[in-house]
Structure 1
Amino acid sequence: MRLYKIFKDPMNQYEAVKQGWSWPAFFFWAMWACVKQMWGLGIRILVTFVVLSLLAGQNELLRAINSLLGFSVFLAFGMFGNTLREKNLVKHGYVELPQLINAANPEAAIAQYIAEYGHK
């Protein structure tokens, strides 16, 4: 079971965001950001790493710095990816609901929220 925050938009659409570490954000950072509709973030990060890789070329020191920076970004996405997603939902009109839900997955968290608290 995982802990989820539930968000609702004005059209009564719900989103559940798992609390804590995000493995998908850690492993698939740019693609994950785009899938979660954070297009600007995903594209900026991807372009930045492509440009840095091209600039590093065959320079071992620059390639090492680029790798260290990349790993730091992976860690940051794993640690803060779900928080970034929450902020993006709020930016797009969603409201954070006060109850935290313990569930196996996001769909179960939303169903449990609706069953317990209704369409408030």
Structure 2
Amino acid sequence: MTDGPISGQILLLAAAKTSVTPARLSTLVVRTQAALERDRERYRREFECVYIDESGSYEAFLVDWGHWDELGEMLGLERREHSAIRRAHEEQLLRAGRRADREDEFETALEIREPVLIGVASD
């Protein structure tokens, strides 16, 4: 498993915008990444990959709205927990968009779809 695609600054930002503590959110993100990494090939087949970070450490997919509700249920998370994780993924994608001069594109996409960022283990 990788360290995950969500930076520490983004975890703090997402925690501040939700009712989940930074420590709890960090734990939840790691747990969620383990599940996402197991399904990475399925995401590659079924969903649009809109971004691969410059170091190749994560891939960002756009999924149908409600996907995080399904993931949260599958992982046994409370609604506020999976909402906080979704927020972290969204904030990380928007940050990547700002850096890649694609912020408007990603903001528009996030009006109708949700982001899922999956860490890619380095060999």
Structure 1 and Structure 2 fold alike (TM over 0.5): no
Q: Which has the higher contact order (CA 8 A, sep 6+)?
A: 1
Which structure has the highest helix share of the two?
1
TM bucket, shorter chain? under 0.3
Q: TM-score scaled to structure 2, two decimals? A: 0.27
Q: TM-score scaled to structure 1, two decimals? A: 0.27
